[in-house]
Amino acid sequence: MTMLSFKFVDDALNQKLIALLKRERLKHRIDPKGAIHYSADDEEVVENDLICSIRDQVFSTWQIISCPSQWAGRYKQYMVQHGVPFVEELIDGQLCFLVPRRYRPHSWKLDDPSAEKKHRIA
């Protein structure tokens, strides 16, 4: 059986999700780091109904930013510097960001530390 995992990094949001899973009587387990593991057979109800219901409480319209792990710090730094509200999520162990839909992450100019090193004059 394929297992999927999810965690809201914010503990209060994660506890809301755990309560919903218990109320729906969906089989799941919580690992020592707080990640919720559930069956791929329950993916549709967990992701589309339960997780989305909590996301809807955080932002009325939203989107998920997923990126390679080496970019996550740059996205987080950009959002903090520009006042973009966000919530961190771990989806199958990968850090992702829940942000309001009005923002356009594809247009953000993220600082690339490796580019700075390439263009430095000695």
Tell me the domain boundaries of the chain. Answer: 3-118
Q: pLDDT tens for residues 69-96?
A: 999 999 999 999 999 999 999 999 999 9
How many angstroms from the chain centroid is the CA of residue 76? Answer: 12
Tens of pLDDT, residue by residue over 112-121, are 655 444 444 4
Q: Is 74 exposed, middle or buried (0-12, 13-18, 19+ CB in 10 A)?
A: middle
Backbone angles phi, psi at 9, to 5 degrees: -65, -35
pTM across the whole model: 0.86
Beta strands 62-66 and 36-39: pairing type? unpaired
Q: Kindly report the length of the chain.
A: 122
What tens digit of pLDDT does each residue of 47-60 get?
Answer: 999 999 999 999 99
